[in-house]
Amino acid sequence: MNRATFASLALSIAAGGVVAQSETVTVEYDMPTLDRWNYPFNGSPGTRLSASTFGAVELDGFDDHDAQFIVGFETLADVMSGLDASEYQVLSARVTITNSNGDEFRYDPTYDTHDTYLFLDNSLDTDDGRPVHLWAIGYRDEQSQSTWGEYSAFGGIPDVDPTQGARYAYAAYFPFEGSEAVDVSNNLKEEFDATPMAIAQTDAAVPGGFVPADSDFYFDVDLCQPGVRGYLAEGLSLGEVRFAITSLHAANGGDGGGTGDITYPFWYTKENPIAAIFGYAPRLKLTVRVGNPGDFNSDGAFDFFDVSAFLTAFNSGDLSADLNGDCSLNFFDVSAFLTAYNAG
């Protein structure tokens, strides 16, 4: 965002409480401002050199999604914070992470339903490997994004000792638009399926095959899942966008305890010196239209070119024209555009 535009945005907010024009901003961060291994038995949550994800499958007293990885990206310096969530229309978002361990876990690019985890030997799984999920974050016990961070305590009083249902910040999804964030940490015990906002994809392995070390996995956020755009908008309004990453690879060996070979991934954190050198830390690329979408081409003026750009996007099925956020294009979007345009 150039300084002049930023100043005029600020002026228009001061004047009327709403931004009377828009700016389309792409941010690209090669490192998070927050990352932590969100695991109950972890004395150094924010400073580990890697964060594993695995599941405590069939273990009472532990969350199914036992070892979670939390990443956050501060956007304050690039995207104006503090606006109403409706003033942020996220157009695309990609999170990328890189595994540090080689040939220990298998790649699965598709969702596995909860019933496929019923036996630890994976005998009910129809495709080898387990997917890695990207989720929103929900908070319990009065915690929030504003109070809970990289070095905060793991959690409070568990539902079942020693740690089940205790984590302050949990992987979450929104079953329908307008829903509260629902904890997915125990979706096996509670026998439900939840759709993540993305499943990790990589070009470095074939589905079912072992993954070599230092492979990039990217999550292209599905902005059409209920609640996802609202969640990202709220993060941008707070000045930081956060995600939870989980997988339900069985917790054999290493961090996960027990015997046997490690079969789950480890992800580089920003604290890892190798990650800093080679660019393996969690990354985010996000494009958002900030402000009044009536200024559809984000040039600061409301004129014929906005109408034309909107109609072109609308007619080509481009979801940037989906102004009411329901992922379909129809009369309601035209109406929302005209309302926004006339307010400009």
For position 322 contacting Ca ion by CB under 5 A, the verdict is: yes
The closest residue (CB) to Ca ion is 110
Q: Shortest distance, CB of residue 232 to Ca ion, whole angstroms?
A: 17
Return d(Cα 204, Cα 216) in angstroms, integer: 7
Which of 134, 285, 137, 282 lies closest to 197 in space, CA to CA? 134
Which of 144, 165, 167, 145 lies closest to 154 in space, CA to CA? 167
Q: Shortest distance, CB of residue 321 to Ca ion, whole angstroms?
A: 8
Residue 101 DSSP one-character state: S
Burial 243-271 (b: 16+ CB within 10 A, else e): bbbbbbbbbbbbbbeeeeebbbbbbbbbb
**Residue range at the interface with Ca ion (CB under 5 A); choices 105-113, 193-201, 232-240, 269-277:** 105-113
Which residue's CB is nearer to Ca ion, number 74 or number 322? 322
Site string for Ca ion, 125-164 (x = CB under 5 A): x-x-------------------------------------
Site string for Ca ion, 264-303 (x = CB under 5 A): -------------------------------x-x-x-x--
For position 8 contacting Ca ion by CB under 5 A, the verdict is: no
Continuous H helices in 163-207: none
For position 339 contacting Ca ion by CB under 5 A, the verdict is: no
Among 66, 108, 183, 255, binds Ca ion (CB under 5 A): 108
Which of 260, 54, 70 lies closest to 154 in space, CA to CA? 70
Q: Shortest distance, CB of residue 286 to Ca ion, whole angstroms?
A: 21
Q: Shortest distance, CB of residue 62 to Ca ion, whole angstroms?
A: 21
Question: Which residues are within 8 A (CB) of 141 and not within 5 positions of it... i.e. 6 or more apart?
Answer: 155, 156, 168
Site string for Ca ion, 26-55 (x = CB under 5 A): ------------------------------
**Residue range at the interface with Ca ion (CB under 5 A); choices 106-114, 155-163, 168-176, 311-319:** 106-114
Distance of CA 140 to CAs 104, 155, 171, Å?
34, 9, 11
Q: Shortest distance, CB of residue 32 to Ca ion, whole angstroms?
A: 27
For position 324 contacting Ca ion by CB under 5 A, the verdict is: yes
Size of the site for Ca ion (CB under 5 A): 14
For position 23 contacting Ca ion by CB under 5 A, the verdict is: no
Return d(Cα 38, Cα 69) in angstroms, integer: 6
Return d(Cα 320, Cα 301) in angstroms, integer: 18
For position 255 contacting Ca ion by CB under 5 A, the verdict is: no
For position 318 contacting Ca ion by CB under 5 A, the verdict is: no
Distance of CA 244 to CAs 64, 71, 275, Å?
14, 6, 19
For position 110 contacting Ca ion by CB under 5 A, the verdict is: yes
Return d(Cα 45, Cα 53) in angstroms, integer: 13
Question: ∠ CA 82-37-268 to the nearest 5 degrees?
Answer: 95
Interface contacts to Ca ion, rule CB under 5 A: 108, 110, 112, 125, 127, 295, 297, 299, 301, 306, 322, 324, 326, 333
